[in-house]
Structure 1
């Protein structure tokens, strides 16, 4: 199994970052504006990108320190069986976020695409917290002309 890993520092409180990862409103500010279902452990979050998109079950929540999701849908197929975690830790004047999209079966061009998009969406999260304006889908940065 292989993983996508990114780390960023966000000039904002751990609680603000946690809320951006655990509420529909927060998630809609940085990943996709069409987000429903965020809530307690066991909730299913539907993320839609122009109609289709992944579903994730909220697997674990540790207030202000950890958010973990398990892929629960059937698309995209390479994501089946994967998990996403966001580990938060306070730093001097910032919150560190360690992002891991784990349990990929193999590396691929699609995985490379997703890694680049995750980096961009994490920068969108950073902007949403620091400036009040992220770049969620459909206003995200496109990395190729097939999007």
Structure 2
């Protein structure tokens, strides 16, 4: 199996970051402007990008520490069976978000694309937490011309 991993230091409270990861209003500030369903364990979160997109079931919520999702849809196909974890680590100076998108069946160009896009969106999370203004889809940084 293959995993995407990132680590981003954010000058904000763990509670603020946790809210950005666990509520519809928080998620719309940094990933996509169309989110519904966030909130509790076993909730199905629907993330939409121009009408389509992935669904995730919330599988773990440790307040201010860890958020876990399991892919629960058929889109995109390469994400079937994958899971996402956001681990929040306070080092006294900042909160590190350790991100993992785990269990990819193979390393492909699409996985490489998603790796870069996750970096873009994690920097959007950083901006949302630090300044109150992220860059969620459709206002995110584009990484290709298609």
TM range (shorter): over 0.9
Matches within 5 A, 1:70-109: 70-109=70-109
Q: Is the 8 A contact 1:12 1:93 kept in 2?
A: no
Deviation at 1:93, TM superposition (A): 2.7
- 2:141 maps to which residue? 141
Quick one: distance in 1 between partners of 2:79 and 2:116? 15
Which deviations, in whole Å up to 9, do the C-alpha atoms of 1:53-111 show, x marking residues without a partner? 00000011111100000000100000000000000011223111100000000000000
Q: How does 1:1-147 map to 2 (within 5 A)?
A: 1-146=1-146
Secondary structure in structure 1 of the residue aligned to 2:102: strand
Q: Please state whether the residue corresponding to 1:38 is helix, strand or coil.
A: coil
How many aligned residue pairs are there? Answer: 146
Looking at structure 2, the residues matched to 11 and 91 of structure 1 have their Cα atoms a distance apart, in angstroms, of 11
Matched residue SS, 2:58? strand
| Structure 2 SS opposite 1:78 | helix
How far did residue 113 of structure 1 move?
Answer: 0.1
Q: Distance in 2 between matches of 1:134 and 1:63?
A: 22
Deviations 1:23-67 (A, max 9, x none): 000000000010000011000000000010000000111111000
Deviation string for 1:5-28 (max 9, x for gaps)? 000000000110000000000000
Partner Cα separation in structure 1 for residue 127 and residue 66 of structure 2: 20
Q: When the two structures are superposed, what TM-score results if normalisation uses the length of structure 1?
A: 0.98
Per the normalisation by structure 2, the TM-score is 0.99
Runs of 4+ in 1 over 3 A off after TM superposition: none
